[in-house]
Amino acid sequence: MAAVKTRSEVALNRIAIVSVLIVTIIFLAPIYWIASTAFKPRHLATTIPPTVVFQPETSPFVKLFLRRSQLREQPTPEEYAAAPWWEQLVFDGGEKVVRDGRGNVQFSGYPSRFMNSLIVAVVSTILAVGMGTLTAYGFSRFKVAGEQDWLFFILSTRMLPPVVVAIPMFLMYRWFALNDTHLGLIILYTAFNLSFSVWLMKGFIDEIPREYEEAALVDGYTRMEAFFKIVLPEAATGIAATAVFCFIIAWNEYAFALIMTRRDAQTAPPFIPSQVGSGLPDWTVIAAGTFLFLLPVAIFTFLLRNHLLRGMSFGAIRK
Amino acid sequence: MATLVMTRLDPQSRAARRGWSDLTIRNAFIIPTIVFLIVFNIFPLLYSLYYSFTDFRASTNAPANWVGLANYRELLNDPFIWANFAITAKYVIVSVAGQVIVGFGVAMLLNRSIPFKGFITTLLLLPMMLSMAVVGLFWKLLYDPSFGIINYALGLGRFEWLSNPDMALYAVAITDIWMWSPFVMLLSLAGLSAVPKHLYEAAAIDRAGPFYTFFRITLPLVAPILMIAIIFRTMEAFKTFDLAFILTSQPSAEVISIRLYKMAFQEWQTGMSSALAYIMLIMVVAITNIYVKYLNKVKER
């Protein structure tokens, strides 16, 4: 702003700053509420008026990871004193830790669902970004008859409603015994992310000057060497950004996971809501699970901040 | 793959003589992706196209009987399906309009000299990156009539949101607006920052009022990018499943994806649901077509 600001402009700017502040607070309130509920004792999670100031505790996370059952009778003081700190926290909540015949602690369903999410998201991301980068290079550097039509075809597979695709996939997976397996979900997520990765990577590779490779070809590199030694390093940022996007999309996906998995390969998104059964749910435990699940995505969002526009517009809008 | 037949590359290049030829590389890079997408997206759809003409039920072992167009005829004559489409249309209009108003409004606010602008923008973008299903679930607590913070903050007492047939769909739309306004904001910001400053200076010299400046300068220049946001959000809202499915079981909020899910995986009417899936598919492909046209238009600028 080079021009001298008039008094009304300054006032207007102040109003804008205050409004932005209010909007930010409103937008972050639900996320804050998840994070704070994850550290509340159970009786403070559902109070009227809502509890904002409280002594944070870790009991929701302890309960999240352990299989628990209702206490029939209070533990004796000796039992209580002999129990480790996390078991005491469970006792305090009126529950006890479930152990198997040998006295080993039983875990809840959460850790395995979290691991399933991680396995499926990581493997499908590697596949989608790997294939996507190659395909993007092919479309970027070589003439392909009907290029626009192929790219449209690739994008349109991405736009299909998940439930529409899930109906025949469910039947096919039943045939090949792929329902409720990691491989089944990995294939679906790879297909889902592949078109996204092709479009995004094409944007990144289009930006790398062809002259770099041409110079390398003149120097005696083969096309493949030029691709691996010149193009890939130049595209590293783009590949990383695309990978993080694909990971987030696979990590967050719900509909396919709901339909295609039951238990063994179930990921966290269908599992977390299934904890809210009938009766009064323990929102602190759900919040703890949600918090851990959202944390990686929140971190990635900040890492990705300069690529968000490009990613969300399939590479069409760059800055 | 007839369309992938070679367009000529320079056969005299070194690369053509040593190592793989450009043609081989191109095909090796592109064909696996195309095949993968055909096998895992197109082939299943052909499979369900067949089922859409049968009375197949995946829950029984009874063989599929060919019924011709009966499923489609029945669906298109079913007032309940039309009600689901009407609910979906209402949802699309409310949530996309809300996202455009909030998103564009916030973008206008942010398009000034605001301290910590980059950081605030990233914070505001957070909701759209999160899992709809998982965050949506938590909105159940926020909407709770007795101890939800929404009723408390707005002083609404024990107002019912999700279990209220009149409010459920709007409650889902509000959550969707919260999640996806940032998306419209992100694209609008890109559009707004691309408006040349000298146009505003010229308007100021001509003593153009703020409304004139907005409708004659800002809006027309941001329109193409805003259009992309609107079409994309329309398509996503049309397909919406996660949020509405998690948040409420009210029939008044049963959007078409949920009807399809129930028909396919709870009632196991595989044939009928395949037909409904195809009706949805045609609509989505039509919107995608428009979307890609706009994407390419903006790209060319």
Distance of alpha carbon B15 from alpha carbon B10, whole angstroms:
9
The verdict on a CB contact (< 8 Å) between B122 and A301 is yes
Structure-block tokens of residue B210:
């703020």
What was the pLDDT predicted at A92?
A: 85
The verdict on a CB contact (< 8 Å) between A163 and B246 is no
H/E element, A97:
strand A95-97
Angle of the A110-141 helix axis to the A236-252 helix axis, nearest 10: 140
- Residue A253 within any structural domain of the chain: yes
- Residue A46 within any structural domain of the chain: no
What was the pLDDT predicted at B5?
A: 41
B contact residues 238-257, partner A, Cβ 8 Å cutoff:
239, 241-242, 246, 257
Interface test with B, best of A20, A117, A189 (most B CBs within 10 A): A20
The answer to whether residue B7 scores a pLDDT higher than 70 is no
Tell me, yes or no, whether A24 and A150 share the same domain.
no
Whether the CB of B177 is below 8 Å from some CB of chain A: the reply is: no
Distance of alpha carbon A203 from alpha carbon B104, whole angstroms:
26
- Residue A79 within any structural domain of the chain: no
| Greatest CA separation for chain A | 83
The verdict on a CB contact (< 8 Å) between A31 and B146 is no
Among B25, B122, B280, select the one facing A224 at the smallest CB separation. B25
Tell me, yes or no, whether A19 and A119 share the same domain.
no
The verdict on a CB contact (< 8 Å) between A164 and B120 is no
Tell me, yes or no, whether A115 and A250 share the same domain.
yes
Q: Report residue B13's pLDDT band, with 50, 70 and 90 as the boundaries.
A: low
Range of the domain at A272: 110-312
Which ranges of chain A have pLDDT less than 50? Answer: 1-2
Bond from prior residue into A49 cis (ω within 30 degrees of 0)? yes
Residue A219, number of CB atoms within 10 A of its CB: 10
- Residue A258 within any structural domain of the chain: yes
Domain B70-300 listed as CATH 1.10.3720.10 = yes
Proportion of chain B above pLDDT 90, given as a percent: 68
The answer to whether residue B148 scores a pLDDT higher than 60 is yes
Q: Provide the mean pLDDT of chain B.
A: 89
* CATH code of A266's domain: 1.10.3720.10
Upper half-sphere CA count for residue A75 (Cβ side, 13 Å): 19
Q: Where are the domains of chain B?
A: 2-51, 70-300
pLDDT in tens, A202-247: 999 999 999 999 999 898 899 999 999 999 999 999 999 999 999 9
What was the pLDDT predicted at A279?
A: 67
Chain B positions in Cβ-Cβ contact with residue A297 (cut-off 8 Å)? 129-131
The verdict on a CB contact (< 8 Å) between A168 and B239 is no
Tell me, yes or no, whether A117 and A22 share the same domain.
no
What was the pLDDT predicted at A313?
A: 85
CA distance A195 to chain B (A): 8
Distance of alpha carbon A268 from alpha carbon A290, whole angstroms:
9
- Residue A63 within any structural domain of the chain: no
Proportion of chain A above pLDDT 70, given as a percent: 97
Whether the CB of A17 is below 8 Å from some CB of chain B: the reply is: yes
The verdict on a CB contact (< 8 Å) between A31 and B20 is no
- Encode B107-145: b = buried (16+ Cβ within 10 Å), e = exposed: bbbbbeebeeeeebbbbbbbbbbbbbbbbbbbbbbbbbb
The verdict on a CB contact (< 8 Å) between A317 and B228 is yes
Structure-block tokens of residue A290:
């949600």
Q: Report residue B233's pLDDT band, with 50, 70 and 90 as the boundaries.
A: very high
Q: Provide the mean pLDDT of chain A.
A: 91
Among A172, A223, A268, select the one facing B22 at the smallest CB separation. A223
- Residue A67 within any structural domain of the chain: no
Whether the CB of B30 is below 8 Å from some CB of chain A: the reply is: yes
The answer to whether residue B234 scores a pLDDT higher than 80 is yes
CA nearest to B183 within chain A: A312
pLDDT in tens, B221-231: 998 899 989 99
- Residue A97 within any structural domain of the chain: no
Query: What burial class does residue A189 get, using C-beta atoms within 10 Å of its C-beta: 0-12 exposed, 13-18 middle, 19+ buried?
Result: buried
Whether the CB of B64 is below 8 Å from some CB of chain A: the reply is: no
pTM of the model: 0.92
- Residue A59 within any structural domain of the chain: no
B contact residues 104-133, partner A, Cβ 8 Å cutoff:
106, 109-110, 112-115, 118, 120-133
User: What's the number of domains chain A is made of?
Assistant: 2
Instruction: Tell how strand A68-70 and strand A95-97 pair up.
Output: antiparallel
